[in-house]
Amino acid sequence: MFNDIGPLELVTLVVLAVLVFGPDKLPKMIQDVTRTIRKIRDFSESAKADIRDELGPEFKDFEFEDLNPKTFIRKQLDNDELGLKEIRNGFDLKKEMAEVTDAVHGRDSDHSSSSSGGASGGSVDMTKKREKLDPDERPPYDADAT
Protein backbone atom coordinates (compact mmCIF):
# COMPACT_ATOMS: atom_id res chain seq x y z
CA MET A 1 0.00 0.00 0.00
CA PHE A 2 2.80 2.40 0.89
CA ASN A 3 5.54 0.96 -1.30
CA ASP A 4 6.81 4.33 -2.46
CA ILE A 5 7.35 5.85 1.01
CA GLY A 6 10.99 5.99 2.04
CA PRO A 7 12.38 5.86 5.57
CA LEU A 8 12.85 9.64 5.77
CA GLU A 9 9.22 10.26 4.79
CA LEU A 10 8.04 7.66 7.31
CA VAL A 11 9.98 9.32 10.12
CA THR A 12 8.58 12.70 9.06
CA LEU A 13 5.02 11.32 9.15
CA VAL A 14 5.56 9.86 12.65
CA VAL A 15 6.98 13.12 13.98
CA LEU A 16 4.14 15.08 12.38
CA ALA A 17 1.55 12.69 13.88
CA VAL A 18 3.08 13.06 17.35
CA LEU A 19 3.02 16.84 17.01
CA VAL A 20 -0.56 17.00 15.73
CA PHE A 21 -2.25 14.39 17.93
CA GLY A 22 0.09 14.33 20.91
CA PRO A 23 1.80 11.32 22.44
CA ASP A 24 -1.18 10.45 24.64
CA LYS A 25 -3.80 10.37 21.83
CA LEU A 26 -1.58 8.81 19.16
CA PRO A 27 -2.02 5.11 20.18
CA LYS A 28 -5.81 5.55 20.18
CA MET A 29 -5.67 7.15 16.71
CA ILE A 30 -3.53 4.30 15.36
CA GLN A 31 -6.02 1.75 16.71
CA ASP A 32 -8.93 3.63 15.13
CA VAL A 33 -7.19 3.82 11.75
CA THR A 34 -6.24 0.14 11.72
CA ARG A 35 -9.78 -0.85 12.78
CA THR A 36 -11.21 1.26 9.93
CA ILE A 37 -8.83 -0.29 7.40
CA ARG A 38 -9.82 -3.79 8.58
CA LYS A 39 -13.52 -2.94 8.20
CA ILE A 40 -12.97 -1.62 4.68
CA ARG A 41 -11.04 -4.79 3.72
CA ASP A 42 -13.75 -7.03 5.19
CA PHE A 43 -16.43 -5.08 3.36
CA SER A 44 -14.62 -5.36 0.03
CA GLU A 45 -13.99 -9.10 0.49
CA SER A 46 -17.65 -9.72 1.31
CA ALA A 47 -18.70 -7.67 -1.73
CA LYS A 48 -16.36 -9.75 -3.93
CA ALA A 49 -17.79 -12.97 -2.48
CA ASP A 50 -21.34 -11.76 -3.12
CA ILE A 51 -20.49 -10.91 -6.73
CA ARG A 52 -18.88 -14.33 -7.27
CA ASP A 53 -21.98 -16.02 -5.78
CA GLU A 54 -24.29 -14.02 -8.05
CA LEU A 55 -22.25 -14.78 -11.18
CA GLY A 56 -22.71 -18.50 -10.69
CA PRO A 57 -20.51 -21.58 -11.06
CA GLU A 58 -19.32 -20.61 -14.56
CA PHE A 59 -17.25 -17.81 -13.04
CA LYS A 60 -15.83 -19.67 -10.05
CA ASP A 61 -12.26 -18.92 -11.15
CA PHE A 62 -13.03 -15.24 -11.86
CA GLU A 63 -10.51 -12.84 -10.37
CA PHE A 64 -11.13 -9.12 -10.07
CA GLU A 65 -7.50 -8.44 -10.92
CA ASP A 66 -8.30 -9.77 -14.42
CA LEU A 67 -10.36 -6.64 -15.02
CA ASN A 68 -7.12 -4.69 -15.29
CA PRO A 69 -6.36 -4.60 -19.06
CA LYS A 70 -2.63 -5.22 -18.58
CA THR A 71 -3.24 -8.26 -16.40
CA PHE A 72 -5.86 -9.60 -18.81
CA ILE A 73 -3.57 -9.30 -21.84
CA ARG A 74 -0.60 -10.80 -19.98
CA LYS A 75 -2.74 -13.74 -18.88
CA GLN A 76 -4.05 -14.31 -22.41
CA LEU A 77 -0.56 -14.18 -23.91
CA ASP A 78 0.68 -16.71 -21.36
CA ASN A 79 -2.33 -18.95 -22.00
CA ASP A 80 -1.78 -19.00 -25.80
CA GLU A 81 -4.86 -21.04 -26.70
CA LEU A 82 -5.26 -18.93 -29.82
CA GLY A 83 -1.69 -19.37 -31.04
CA LEU A 84 -0.77 -15.73 -30.50
CA LYS A 85 2.90 -16.47 -29.93
CA GLU A 86 3.13 -18.19 -33.30
CA ILE A 87 1.47 -15.23 -35.01
CA ARG A 88 3.67 -12.73 -33.17
CA ASN A 89 6.88 -14.62 -34.00
CA GLY A 90 5.91 -15.04 -37.65
CA PHE A 91 5.27 -11.35 -38.21
CA ASP A 92 8.25 -9.17 -39.13
CA LEU A 93 7.12 -5.56 -38.78
CA LYS A 94 10.24 -4.02 -40.35
CA LYS A 95 9.94 -6.20 -43.43
CA GLU A 96 6.23 -5.49 -43.80
CA MET A 97 6.76 -1.74 -43.44
CA ALA A 98 9.61 -1.82 -45.98
CA GLU A 99 7.35 -3.61 -48.48
CA VAL A 100 4.57 -1.07 -47.94
CA THR A 101 7.00 1.83 -48.34
CA ASP A 102 8.39 0.32 -51.53
CA ALA A 103 4.89 -0.20 -52.89
CA VAL A 104 3.99 3.42 -52.17
CA HIS A 105 7.15 4.73 -53.79
CA GLY A 106 6.79 2.36 -56.74
CA ARG A 107 10.10 0.56 -56.16
CA ASP A 108 10.79 -3.15 -56.54
CA SER A 109 10.74 -4.98 -53.22
CA ASP A 110 13.88 -6.92 -54.27
CA HIS A 111 15.81 -3.63 -54.60
CA SER A 112 14.60 -2.40 -51.20
CA SER A 113 15.57 -5.58 -49.38
CA SER A 114 19.14 -5.25 -50.62
CA SER A 115 19.37 -1.57 -49.76
CA SER A 116 17.42 -1.66 -46.49
CA GLY A 117 20.59 -2.50 -44.56
CA GLY A 118 22.03 0.98 -45.07
CA ALA A 119 20.62 4.46 -45.32
CA SER A 120 22.72 5.32 -48.40
CA GLY A 121 20.49 3.23 -50.71
CA GLY A 122 17.45 5.36 -49.91
CA SER A 123 19.34 8.61 -50.28
CA VAL A 124 20.65 7.60 -53.74
CA ASP A 125 17.08 7.06 -54.88
CA MET A 126 16.13 10.48 -53.49
CA THR A 127 18.93 12.23 -55.41
CA LYS A 128 17.79 10.57 -58.62
CA LYS A 129 14.24 11.74 -57.97
CA ARG A 130 15.40 15.28 -57.14
CA GLU A 131 17.07 15.58 -60.51
CA LYS A 132 13.75 14.87 -62.24
CA LEU A 133 11.77 17.41 -60.19
CA ASP A 134 11.13 21.01 -61.12
CA PRO A 135 13.11 23.58 -59.09
CA ASP A 136 9.91 24.84 -57.37
CA GLU A 137 8.66 21.36 -56.45
CA ARG A 138 9.43 19.80 -53.05
CA PRO A 139 11.00 16.36 -53.03
CA PRO A 140 8.81 13.55 -51.63
CA TYR A 141 9.35 12.38 -48.08
CA ASP A 142 11.45 9.24 -47.89
CA ALA A 143 11.26 7.37 -44.58
CA ASP A 144 14.30 5.26 -45.47
CA ALA A 145 16.52 8.32 -45.90
CA THR A 146 15.78 9.78 -42.47
In the chain, what is the straight-line distance between the N-terminal and C-terminal CA atoms, in Å? 46
User: From the centroid of its chain, how far is CA 129?
Assistant: 40
- Tell me the C-alpha distance between 133 and 71, whole Å: 53
Q: What is the mean pLDDT of each run of 10 residues along the chain (146 residues)?
A: 79 90 89 96 91 81 79 72 65 82 77 45 48 70 74
What pLDDT is attached to residue 109? 54
DSSP character at residue 43: H
- Write down the domain spans for the chain: 1-56, 93-132
- Tell me the C-alpha distance between 135 and 98, whole Å: 29
- Tell me the C-alpha distance between 69 and 75, whole Å: 10
CA-based nearest residue to 13, from 2, 123, 87, 24 = 2
All residues at 6 or more sequence positions from 24 whose CB lies less than 8 Å from its CB, including other chains: none
85 φ, ψ (degrees, to nearest 5): -65, -40
For residue 6, give the H/E element and its range.
none
What pLDDT is attached to residue 37? 96
pTM: 0.41
